Amino acid sequence: MSEPISALNHASYDGIASVKECGLQGMITLRGDLSDKLLDKAVKDATGQKAPGQREALVKGDTGVCWMSSDELLVLVPYAEVGAKLLAMTAALSGTHALAVNVSDARAVFSVSGSHARDVMGKLAPVDFSPQAFQPGQIRRTRLAQVAGAFWMDDADTFRVVCFRSAADYVFKLLKTAAQPGSEVGAYNR
Amino acid sequence: MLILRCPCCGVDAEETELAAGGEAHLKRFGPGSSDDDFHDYLFMRENPKGVHFERWRHANGCGKWFHVARCTRTLEVFGTYSAQTTEPPQEIKDAITAKRPGWTWREFS
Amino acid sequence: MKHYSAFAVAREALRYHTGWERAWRSPQPKKRYDAIIVGAGGHGLATAYYLGRNYGIQNVAVIEKGWLGGGNTGRNTTIIRSNYLQDPSAALYERARSLYEDLSQELNYNIMFSPRGVIMLAQTQHEIRGYQRTAHANALQGVKTEWIGPQRVKELVPIINLDGPRYPVLGGLWQERGGTARHDAVAWGYARACSAMGMDIIQQCEVTGVRSDNGRVVGIDTTKGAIDCDKLGIVVAGHSGQLAEMAGFRLPLEAVALQALVSEPIKPCMDVVVMANTVHGYMSQSDKGEMVIGGGTDGFNNYTQRGSFHHIEETVRALVETFPMISRLKMLRQWGGIVDMTGDRSPILSKTPLGNCFINCGWGTGGFKAIPGSGWGMAQLMATGHSPLTEAFTLDRFKEGRFIDESVAAGVAH
Amino acid sequence: MSTRLTKQGRLIDRSKKISFTFNGTTMQGYAGDTLASALLANDQMMMGRSFKYHRPRGVVASGAEEPNALVGLGQGNRFEPNQRATTTELFNGLTSVSQNHWPNLDFDIGAVNTALARFLPAGFYYKTFIHPKPFWKHIYEPFIRQSAGLGKAPDKDSRDADTYEHFYAFTDVLVIGGGVAGLQAARAAAQSGAKVMLIEQSAHWGGRAPVDGGTVDGQPVDKFVEQLVSELETMKNVTLRNRCMGAGVYDHGYALGYERLTDHNPGMQGPRHRLWRIRAKQIVTATGAIERPLSFAGNDVPGVMLASAMRDYLVNWGVVPGERVIIATNNDDAYRSAILLKQAGVDVLRVVDARATAGPLAEEARQLGIRVDPGKAIAKVKGGKRVKSVQLCNQDGIGGAREEVEADAVAMSGGWSPVVHLWSHCGGKLIWDEAQAHFRPDPTRPPLGADGEGFVIAAGSANGPLALGDILADADAAGKAAAKAAGHKPKRAKAPVGEASSEAPMEPVWLMPANADIQLRGKAWLDFQNDVKVSDVQLAAREGYESVEHTKRYTTLGMATDQGKLSNINGLAILANALDAEIPQVGTTTFRPPYTPISMGAIGGEARGEVFQPIRQTPMHDWHDKHGADWEPVGHWRRTYAYVRPGESVHDAVNREVKNTRDNLGLLDASTLGKLIVKGPDAGRFLDMMYTNMMSTLKVGKCRYGLMCSENGFLIDDGVVARIDEDTWLCHTTTGGAERTHGHMEEWLQTEWWDWKVYVANVTEQYAQVAVVGPNARKVLEKLGGMDVSKEALPFMEWRDGKIGDFDCRAYRISFSGELSYEIAVPASQGQAFWDALLEAGQEFGVMPYGTECLHILRAEKGFIMIGDETDGTVIPQDLGLHWALSKKKEDYLGKRAHDRSHMTDPDRWKLVGLETVDGSVLPDGAYAVGEGVNANGQRNMIGRVTSTYYSANLGRGIAMGLIKHGPDRMGEIVEFPGTDDKIYKAKIVDPIFYDKDGEKQNV
């Protein structure tokens, strides 16, 4: 097997915020009954986290789980482990109606960080980015300008942004544009 | 520029996150149905100036469909509710009655 | 009717224009008319006009809830073209377009028909094929159009950017005799001509009921009293459903908002109408100098005449990409209208389940350009019971699965 | 003479001189000037020409309502027409040119229209230019169009040098307008703890108050403003933005803020404009009021301006537009201008007050030695390019017995109208205030929000009150009410108490003198930019254009770039009078966004150039780009149309690829094809509804080609479905069809069959998929090694998981070309490496990548249909001879019922056939086949059309597919296709399979 390459191979840009493509992230789309104990256990075994509540993101670094909808989770594991974790999860869920599928290569992940990260995000998504409204621990699925995207926060100044792999180039250019020098909005850091 | 609360994920989503899906609570007519029933099912949409029930999808979001009770004259939203129902729940009907006494829509009132 | 001409204007100027008479009378309704048209928009007035002109039916009233020409006739982007794909559409719109050519003279009212030409841009392989298909169909339908390459597009539209990074301009469908007209003047010109024939245009009069006897219409109730009629034409765009309900039938329509905007006026820079369907925008320059811009519709039922701003954004960004020089122009005004959409996005011109009651509705986003043809066909249908122009546009086509789908060749039809 | 005083000018910094040009002349101004104040300081009274008559125009206002002083600003890629001088902040190096004249501002040929004005009344063009008909197109219209427009168009090739952006903001209370009312409303709202955003269109806080004077809580109002702004700046829950105009109010609490970031300093880094997309629970419109002109003859001569504007120029910028000024008014406020001008040393010749009695301010003026003439009016202002003299008369009369006074400027005040635009944008209604003679917001009929309750509150003079004390009290109440409605508890703080001189009531004056004769009415302007006069509105009424919308459209009143900010009420009053109706009966025209024009650039935001729209890329995108890809947009994807080698035409490249794939080995990047996983105990049953074919019976390990119809019966998608395990299927869709089809499946699952146990996941982008096609396909895979891809191990229409070389993959033995063909899916992150490996291993087998056009030709040679070519949204499977794919065993599937309708079963429907030109040439794309005669509308009868047509390099001739009436029954017949090139193309109806009819090549 040759070396897997992420969509933009760690491209980065520094403007009013720092934008980086994070490289490959193991991701499993898990659909099922979120109240099912089997599913809960499978998530716990894979990530060490419980199944999240509505719009929760329980993530530490490259491992964790995000609530995607009432019957869908996004399970995050290190890229190298995704095959094994998926097998284990599929096995654990074999007795129940659920779908676990590897989507690691179908996505691109960016980090947007710095004191103006919220400004940058606020230019692209119709979301209230004030700290009162959005904080680490939450996930929001929405659109980034013209494509679908989702994000959560690693810490108070860092967003982790996920989009489809085919849109990675567009999203990176968008984030660069939104982070261009001189474009500070100052809406969230007075 | 509407804002609708997605009953699935709880987000107050603005219109650009949503996709409109037309009239709610359609009864499907398949093979064996009469020409009239099939025609009405496909084309005879309710088009009221006032209380209306419709479907939306939180397309740029959790991806789920849901129902909305809305006024087409003022764009007032009476409530949103699950897509997995064949008729508006009582609390939605009550909320409409509080604002639009005497309303009717199809067989509902 | 006092004849309009430059001489008349000069003559009246000598008495400071105090001698002009009313363009149309403002009568009280009579007890009975041979025909009543509900709706004094372009389509309604044109129907009345051709009833009188072509069939000698002049005992006609046109009933209007608000002020004449105040609906979509007065809030569209005034594009006139007939480069439609399907036979029935091409026939109807081409009849309209050819009537527009002589309408100023016929009505003695300058409606400023400006056959400056309409280009529909092809920006994908799919569109090239669609427009080449349309060009072939048009040739057989008697509609003069041609497929042109990108260089010819650039000659016709010097401000266009052929090499947009997203959608290069690959050519276009060119209708040299398409163009624009002054929308208000179309309504006013027909109204004046109807009034001169002795027809009564009754504004500020709302229809409250349709009366029938034995399955045939016999009259209407209005806020100005009951009025009898032999025949009734319902031509009320956004309110068709309500009128149909009064007449006891339903229509397969939904009302949605369609928006348009104009820029501030600038000196002439674009001499033709350009439609870019891939990016959902179209633009022309009015005789006043404003860039007149239209886009897509909202996807939900709406009677507010206000659309959602993101449609304006989508249209404008597409046009800035296609015509980069407009980036520093400014939007002066945006507005919305309510349009009726049918299941196949084509209009309904039809008899109805109620005898002697006729319906004209469902023009969606493209009614203005059809006004004279629609009036001509409706008048024929109402007077004789049959018109080749309208026969495909019946109410029952949806039941038969016999659609008139224009989206085949173009994403949006305006 | 218009001049700068040596003192005064609260907004200018005399230590910072600024150099700018107007029509090529270099002039000087100060930091803090607007272009208008600087032009006036340079005695540039005339700033433009009017639209219709090309009359000289000077500045009439000092703010956003200005209709006259419009300039072309900047140069080249920063040129912008129609920029208001009154809202343009002066900066070093500013270049401006006046508009709508030729050859120059002072001497303009177009001004001949002024002389002809009598022959060009409202709507004259509807009555003229009718005969002779050809003249319209060739003479009249070109002439009208050449004279159209105001500003110069930017150069045709100009590319805006600036960037733009959007920003989403969320707040409890949005206050629009940073005058005293807006500031106080913001404070009152913010004290409750509510999140407040306050936006102000100008660079300054406080609005008119510092000019108009008065005290608040005992201190001068400008001090009050200063303190209030500092206080708001320290509040964490308050956001203040100046140079940010409230442009529009929309449904559900949406508002647009138009922030001009660099217009005052074009060299700055960052975007030029930012469009704020604000969601507010409550909006307070503290947008102030606009003074109305008076309608008297010659009120459009440069030097005639609003009394408040004259005061602004004096107090804010130290500029006086004349040395001998006459003031005409119907209210007390204009006396403030008289007093200040007098105090500044200007000779205030007269205040003509149309009222019989004036208030205390008049007394103050008299004491300063100003002559006040009650009951008087201006009959006419004389002068061309500036005011020369003024004829005075009694207000109560027709304008006789005039006294002429030499003067060089006139200030006029017809009372004040609240700025109700933003209140009205989203449906707020107005009421007529008899006392102030203006429309103001009707608090009982506000715009309604998502909850059905009002979400806009007008505050301060925007709500009607005009006295400082009343304004502050009203604004305080509005701020508190907004906070409360937004769910916060307002503090019980007392409103600040404002005091200003008391005023006597105004009296409405719609025409000066009241019974002005027709000559005067024909010179009394209502709309300065569009040249609409009192006589024009009266003419419209006389001719039956009685509705206010008719009048507006017939005369163009209020349709200029100022959208009637100065003219609307005056025009309405004239119309009401002409109709003998009350003003509120006549009503207003609709207020539409934006409040003042906003740039197209700002509306488009960041979406320009490379981020105009997303371009979706496959993992091998960069490789294609480097290897001659001629790109084709397919949905948002980019696909390679053909790989063009140096020296080749696109056509050559296609032919090369077509031949090579049949003869040797071709590679197609098929990653864009959609891939949907459908899993669950009910998945088979579900797919049986989605597809016309039976999918539940497909065996694990096998593939089946499937068709999807809409419920309306038309073909919408197709693709190969593979059964992965007992309850899992993988469905391929067309390129660009993945999201649509995924949505289609979810829609039915969520809204119709929600009790069915099925999950769908879109895994399209997880895989890079490569079609390995041609006689050498198996050889190259075998060379790479790994899984067994032999005919026996991997038969046609089956799939296997395994390894090819080092790559984990899933191999499908499917063919869209009729060749031996494998589609191999590998993880996207290894797509490029896999592609490279295939190319390298394929060298010896003659490998070449091929693009979409080759794909199309290969499938057409085999008679395979293509969604989007053979289908167009009106085609059903039966039309394409796909009966075999319509399951007879199933009771139901989407589209089945629709196919029973009479038009769908009509034997006259056009059916799919192959077409071969008699001479081997290529049929034109989209050509129609003709039958005999014409239809009832005189159109040629058509009997079919071409759906796909290509040159087949393999067959050395043109091949085509088409839909022909009774086509399958007419094999061998020749039909005619008229081309648009006047040629008639003759083609024979044949079987649509042109190549390898028995399918021997794919079954090896």
Residues sharing a CB contact under 8 Å with residue D24, sequence separation 6 or more, in sequence order? D97
Which residue type sits at C281? G
For the segment D693-709, the average pLDDT, to the nearest whole number, is 97
Is C304 an interface residue toward D (CB < 8 Å)? yes
Flag whether A112 is in a domain: yes
- Are D695 and D718 within one domain? yes
* CATH number of residue B18's parent domain: 3.30.2270.10
Rounded Cα distance, D691 and D897, in Å: 14
* Count of CA atoms in the C-beta half-sphere (13 A) of D622: 9
Q: Using a CB-CB distance cutoff of 8 angstroms, which residues of chain D are in contact with residue B64?
A: 750
pLDDT digit string, tens, across residues D154-174: 999 999 999 999 999 999 999
Give the number of beta-carbon pairs within 8 Å between A and D: 136
Q: Using a CB-CB distance cutoff of 8 angstroms, which residues of chain C are in contact with residue D155?
A: 325
* Count of CA atoms in the C-beta half-sphere (13 A) of C383: 21
| Cβ C227 vs Cβ C29: under 8 Å | yes
Q: What is the pLDDT of residue C413?
A: 35
D68/chain A closest Cα distance in angstroms: 34
Is D607 an interface residue toward B (CB < 8 Å)? no
Burial of D914-935, coded b for 16+ CB within 10 Å and e otherwise, reads bbbbeeeebbbbbbbbbeeeee
Q: Using a CB-CB distance cutoff of 8 angstroms, which residues of chain A are in contact with residue D619?
A: 5, 7, 165
- Are D81 and D129 within one domain? yes
Of D152, D539, D593, the CB nearest to C266: D152
pLDDT per position in chain A (190 positions), as tens? 678 999 999 999 999 999 999 999 999 999 999 999 999 999 999 999 999 999 999 999 999 999 999 999 999 999 999 999 999 999 999 989 999 999 999 999 999 999 999 999 999 999 999 999 999 999 999 999 999 999 999 999 999 999 999 999 999 999 999 999 999 999 986 5
Is B101 an interface residue toward D (CB < 8 Å)? no
Rounded Cα distance, D900 and D886, in Å: 13
Total residues found in chain D within this entry = 1004
Which residue type sits at A178? A
Q: Using a CB-CB distance cutoff of 8 angstroms, which residues of chain A are in contact with residue D829?
A: 4-6, 24, 104-105
Q: Using a CB-CB distance cutoff of 8 angstroms, which residues of chain C are in contact with residue D159?
A: 324-325, 327
Which chain C residue has the Cα nearest residue B36? C399
- Element (DSSP H or E) covering residue D276: strand D273-285
Best to test chain B binding among A74, A138, A143 (most B CBs inside 10 Å)? A143
Flag whether B106 is in a domain: no
Asked if D542 lies within 8 A of C22 by C-beta distance, the reply is: yes
Q: What is the pLDDT of residue D588?
A: 87
Phi/psi at D289 (5° precision): -135, 160
Cis peptide before D266 (omega within 30 of 0): no
Which chain B residue has the Cα nearest residue D452? B76
Tell me how far apart the 2 most distant CA atoms of chain A are, in Å. Answer: 56
Chain B residues bordering chain A (beta-carbon distance below 8 Å): 8-11, 13-14, 16-17, 59-64
The strand pairing partners of D254, in sequence order, are D250, D279
For the segment D796-807, the average pLDDT, to the nearest whole number, is 97
The strand pairing partners of D965, in sequence order, are D910
∠ Cα D193 D198 D202 (to 5°): 160
| Cβ D682 vs Cβ D748: under 8 Å | no
| Cβ C127 vs Cβ C172: under 8 Å | no
Is B1 an interface residue toward D (CB < 8 Å)? yes
Q: A76, A105, A134: which is the final residue of a domain? A: A105
Asked if C255 lies within 8 A of B47 by C-beta distance, the reply is: yes
Asked if B35 lies within 8 A of C399 by C-beta distance, the reply is: yes
For the segment D69-95, the average pLDDT, to the nearest whole number, is 97
- Are A97 and A110 within one domain? no
Is D6 an interface residue toward A (CB < 8 Å)? no
Flag whether B109 is in a domain: no
Flag whether B68 is in a domain: yes
Q: Spell out the long-range contacts of B85-94 with Cβ–Cβ below 8 A and sequence spacing 24 or more.
A: B85/B25, B86/B25, B86/B27, B87/B25, B88/B24, B88/B25, B88/B53
D763/chain A closest Cα distance in angstroms: 7
- Are D373 and D242 within one domain? no
* CATH number of residue D561's parent domain: 1.10.10.1100
Closest CA to C291 of C260, C317, C312: C260
C330/chain D closest Cα distance in angstroms: 4
| Cβ A149 vs Cβ D191: under 8 Å | no
C164/chain D closest Cα distance in angstroms: 8
Give the number of beta-carbon pairs within 8 Å between B and D: 68
- Give CA D128 to chain center in angstroms: 35
Which chain B residue has the Cα nearest residue D760? B63
| Cβ D828 vs Cβ D628: under 8 Å | no
- Are D573 and D446 within one domain? no
Chain C residues bordering chain B (beta-carbon distance below 8 Å): 241-242, 250-255, 298-304, 308-310, 342-343, 398-399
Q: Supply the angle between the helices D221-234 and D180-190 in degrees, to the nearest 10.
A: 40
pTM of the entire predicted model: 0.96
Chain A residues bordering chain B (beta-carbon distance below 8 Å): 54-55, 68-70, 72, 126, 140-143, 148
Rounded Cα distance, D530 and D68, in Å: 10
Range of the domain at B74: 3-99
List subunits contacting chain B, requiring 3 or more Cβ pairs under 8 Å: A, C, D
- Are D645 and D782 within one domain? yes
A49/chain D closest Cα distance in angstroms: 23
| Cβ C340 vs Cβ C362: under 8 Å | yes
Closest CA to A175 of A144, A154, A129: A144
The pLDDT confidence band at residue D779, using thresholds 50, 70 and 90, is: very high
Rounded Cα distance, D448 and D455, in Å: 6
∠ Cα D855 D856 D862 (to 5°): 95
- Are D178 and D311 within one domain? no
Question: What's the structural domain count of chain B?
Answer: 1
Asked if D448 lies within 8 A of B30 by C-beta distance, the reply is: no
* CATH number of residue D344's parent domain: 3.50.50.60
Closest CA to D108 of D117, D98, D118, D123: D98
List subunits contacting chain D, requiring 3 or more Cβ pairs under 8 Å: A, B, C
Asked if B20 lies within 8 A of C299 by C-beta distance, the reply is: yes
Q: A47, A72, A105: which is the final residue of a domain? A: A105
- Are D119 and D7 within one domain? yes
Phi/psi at B5 (5° precision): -85, 120
Question: What's the structural domain count of chain A?
Answer: 2
B70/chain D closest Cα distance in angstroms: 9
Closest CA to D591 of D607, D619, D569: D569
Q: What is the pLDDT of residue C211?
A: 98
Residues of chain C with pLDDT under 70: 165, 408-414
Among left, alpha and beta (phi > 0; psi -120 to 50; other), residue D1001 is: alpha
The pLDDT confidence band at residue D236, using thresholds 50, 70 and 90, is: very high
ipTM over 0.85: yes
Which chain B residue has the Cα nearest residue A151? B61
- Are A114 and A92 within one domain? no
Q: What is the pLDDT of residue D136?
A: 83
Rounded Cα distance, D92 and D20, in Å: 6
Give the number of beta-carbon pairs within 8 Å between C and D: 333
Q: Using a CB-CB distance cutoff of 8 angstroms, which residues of chain D are in contact with residue B84?
A: 750-751, 754
Among left, alpha and beta (phi > 0; psi -120 to 50; other), residue C41 is: beta
What is the DSSP code (8-state) at residue D801? E
User: 3-class SS at D361?
Assistant: helix
Of A98, A106, A124, the CB nearest to D765: A106
Pairing type for strands D13-22 and D94-98 reads parallel
Asked if B11 lies within 8 A of A68 by C-beta distance, the reply is: no
Of C242, C299, C398, the CB nearest to B43: C398
Range of the domain at D582: 524-586
- Are D744 and D800 within one domain? no
Q: Tokens 């005369």 identify what position? A: D555
Q: What is the pLDDT of residue D146?
A: 77
Q: Tokens 């207000």 identify what position? A: D395
- Are A31 and A101 within one domain? yes
Rounded Cα distance, D653 and D480, in Å: 72
Q: What is the pLDDT of residue A189?
A: 67
Q: Three-state SS across chain C?
A: CCCCCHHHHHHHHHCCCCCCCCCCCCCCCCCEEEEEEECCCHHHHHHHHHHHHHHCCCCEEEECCCCCCCCHHHCCCCEECCCCCCHHHHHHHHHHHHHHHHHHHHHCCCCCCECCCEEEEECCHHHHHHHHHHHHHHHHHCCCCEEECHHHHHHHCCCCCCCCCCCCCCEEEEECCCEECCHHHHHHHHHHHHHHCCCEEECCCCEEEEEEECCEEEEEEECCEEEEEEEEEECCHHHHHHHHHHHCCCCCCEEEEEEEEEECCECCCCCCEEEECCCCEEEEECCCCCEEEEEEEEEEECCCCCCCHHHHHHHHHHHHHHCHHHHHCEEEEEEEEEEEECCCCCCEEEECCCECEEEEECCCCCCHHHHHHHHHHHHHHHHHCCCCCCCCCCCCHHHHCCCCCCCCCCCCCC
Q: Using a CB-CB distance cutoff of 8 angstroms, which residues of chain D are in contact with residue A1?
A: 806-808, 830
Pairing type for strands C207-213 and D238-241 reads unpaired
List subunits contacting chain A, requiring 3 or more Cβ pairs under 8 Å: B, D
- Are D176 and D279 within one domain? yes
Closest CA to D398 of D413, D415, D411, D380: D380
Residues sharing a CB contact under 8 Å with residue D444, sequence separation 6 or more, in sequence order? none
Distances (CA, A) of C152 to B60, C155, C163, C324: 40, 5, 14, 19
- Are A133 and A160 within one domain? yes
Rounded Cα distance, D440 and D464, in Å: 6
Range of the domain at A30: 26-105
Q: Using a CB-CB distance cutoff of 8 angstroms, which residues of chain D are in contact with residue A10?
A: none
- Element (DSSP H or E) covering residue D222: helix D221-234
Best to test chain C binding among D97, D278, D603, D611 (most C CBs inside 10 Å)? D603
What is the DSSP code (8-state) at residue D744? H
Please report the sign of the dihedral spanned by the C-alpha atoms of residue D471, residue D476, residue D477, residue D481.
Answer: positive
Is A187 an interface residue toward D (CB < 8 Å)? yes
Closest CA to D638 of D608, D614, D662: D614
Which chain B residue has the Cα nearest residue D255? B1
Tokens of D117: 């004005």
- Are D833 and D946 within one domain? no
D691/chain B closest Cα distance in angstroms: 15
| Cβ C400 vs Cβ D902: under 8 Å | yes
Asked if D807 lies within 8 A of A2 by C-beta distance, the reply is: yes
Tokens of A175: 């984030």
D616/chain A closest Cα distance in angstroms: 5
Q: Supply the angle between the helices C42-55 and C371-384 in degrees, to the nearest 10.
A: 50
User: 3-class SS at B105?
Assistant: strand
CB atoms within 10 A of CB D650: 15
The strand pairing partners of D376, in sequence order, are D394
Best to test chain B binding among D166, D170, D252 (most B CBs inside 10 Å)? D252
CB atoms within 10 A of CB D159: 14
Asked if B60 lies within 8 A of A54 by C-beta distance, the reply is: no
* CATH number of residue A120's parent domain: 3.30.1360.120
* CATH number of residue A79's parent domain: 3.30.70.1520
Q: What is the pLDDT of residue A1?
A: 60
- Are D355 and D482 within one domain? no
Q: In what order do the strands lie in the sheet with D799-804?
A: D799-804, D807-812, D821-827, D767-773, D665-669, D847-849
Flag whether A188 is in a domain: no
- Are A76 and A138 within one domain? no
Closest CA to C76 of C322, C336, C407: C336
Flag whether A185 is in a domain: no
- Are D931 and D840 within one domain? no
Is B49 an interface residue toward D (CB < 8 Å)? no
Question: What's the structural domain count of chain D?
Answer: 7
Q: What is the pLDDT of residue D439?
A: 97
